[in-house]
Amino acid sequence: MYKILGADKREYGPVSAETVRQWIAERLVVSQTLLEAEGSLGWRMVRDFPEFADALAGQAAVSPVPVSQPPPPPISSVPAIHHAAATSGLAIASLILGILGFFSCGITAVLGGVLGFVSLGQIRQSHGRLSGSGLATVGICVSGVVLLFAIVSLLLFLPFGAAVTLPAASKARSRAESVQCSNNLRQIGLAMQAWQNEHGSLPPDLITLSNQLLSPNVLVCPGERLRERKRVSRWSDLNMIGSSYNYFAPPRKITERNVRLATNAVLVTCPIHDAVCHADGSVSAK
């Protein structure tokens, strides 16, 4: 077997001696062409090989082919050089993200499945330059299993989570409404004291405190269920609907001595939270 070095510095072969003789006959190889025999240590001209002397004798009467032209060997005689296909990075990422889905509640598995399908498309269109279709397929399967497991776990957990969180959320909301209701009653108590200092008596009703209170919403309990009352934004609207709180107006003519003796008298109550506002402005629950 022999290798041929063309003028373009490219190697052709290995080819058999019969192929070399055929190229000599076709004037693709001349006497100055460099040749390397299998197992030898260097390149030599074809004329230095005795086995090709008879083939070169036929070219003696004809002008040789210029050395600058490399011998283009027949495609069937030159073995094709196959490069190893590169593994698709998306296929590897698909498998990794699918496995990580076990630790991320299936979040990364979504991206792993998408990358798996994308990598399969790229591999099919690469004409052999990319490999890794097996990795992409495994990545898609793992991602699908993880997503299915995450969905089933979520469906099983939702009823249990709702049973645990909804009562706690409802209790926290009720507690917040109760605190806001107590704040409303304190503001009402302060407003009544301001009215008393100015008029010498307590107001006839809570709507009369419109100048002492910042907003009509103070007279609406946060736990109010009446839609019209919860949406009130003007004093005139509240005057028609009424306050959420019950007001027990004392007699109009009340002396300062009587007020002082009845500081614990209940003036305002909340029927929703059972909170009360006393004559001294303090608030407590029944």
Number of domains the chain is built from: 3
* Residue 170, domain member (yes or no): no
In 3D space, the residue among 166, 177, 96 whose CA is nearest the CA of residue 138 turns out to be 96
- pLDDT score at 75: 43
Mean pLDDT for the chain overall: 79
User: With 50 as the cut, is the pLDDT of residue 77 above it?
Assistant: no
* pTM for this prediction: 0.42
pLDDT digits (tens, 9 = 90+) for 164-178: 666 777 788 888 888
- d(Cα 5, Cα 28) in Å, to the nearest integer? 12
- Confidence bin at 104 (pLDDT 50/70/90): confident
User: Strands across the sheet with 34-37, in order?
Assistant: 11-15, 2-5, 34-37, 44-45
- d(Cα 258, Cα 266) in Å, to the nearest integer? 14
CB atoms within 10 A of CB 93: 20
- pLDDT score at 76: 43
6 and 43 inside one domain: yes
Query: Which residue did the predictor score with more confidence, 103 or 161?
Result: 103
Interval 195-218 mean pLDDT: 85
User: With 50 as the cut, is the pLDDT of residue 49 above it?
Assistant: yes
User: With 80 as the cut, is the pLDDT of residue 259 above it?
Assistant: no
* Residue 30, domain member (yes or no): yes
138 and 91 inside one domain: yes
Q: Which of 160, 184, 199 is the last residue of a domain?
A: 160
Q: Which of 160, 188, 204 is the last residue of a domain?
A: 160
DSSP type of residue 130: E
Residue 127: which region, alpha, beta or left (left: phi > 0; alpha: psi -120 to 50)? left
- pLDDT score at 156: 81
Which CATH number belongs to the domain containing residue 38 in this structure?
3.30.1490
DSSP type of residue 49: -
Q: How far is CA 11 from the centre of its chain?
A: 53
- Answer positive or negative: Cα dihedral of 230, 214, 263, 180: positive
User: With 50 as the cut, is the pLDDT of residue 261 above it?
Assistant: no
- pLDDT score at 83: 52
- pLDDT score at 96: 92
90 and 18 inside one domain: no
Find the domain containing 65 and state its range: 1-81
Query: Which residue did the predictor score with more confidence, 109 or 81?
Result: 109
- pLDDT score at 165: 64
* Residue 9, domain member (yes or no): yes
- pLDDT score at 114: 92
- Answer positive or negative: Cα dihedral of 167, 170, 174, 176: positive
* Residue 196, domain member (yes or no): yes
186 and 122 inside one domain: no
180 and 255 inside one domain: yes
144 burial (CB, 10 Å; 0-12 / 13-18 / 19+) is: middle
139 and 226 inside one domain: no
* Residue 171, domain member (yes or no): no
Enumerate residues 6+ apart whose C-beta is below 8 A from 77. Answer: 13, 15, 19
227 and 203 inside one domain: yes
Query: Which residue did the predictor score with more confidence, 100 or 251?
Result: 100
Enumerate residues 6+ apart whose C-beta is below 8 A from 197. Answer: none
280 and 186 inside one domain: yes
55 and 153 inside one domain: no
* Residue 207, domain member (yes or no): yes
* Residue 166, domain member (yes or no): no
241 and 213 inside one domain: yes
DSSP type of residue 232: -
182 and 152 inside one domain: no
Q: Helix 89-100 to helix 107-125 angle, to the nearest 10 degrees?
A: 160
Contact 261, 272 (CB under 8 A): no
Q: Which of 81, 97, 128 is the last residue of a domain?
A: 81
280 and 181 inside one domain: yes
* Residue 104, domain member (yes or no): yes
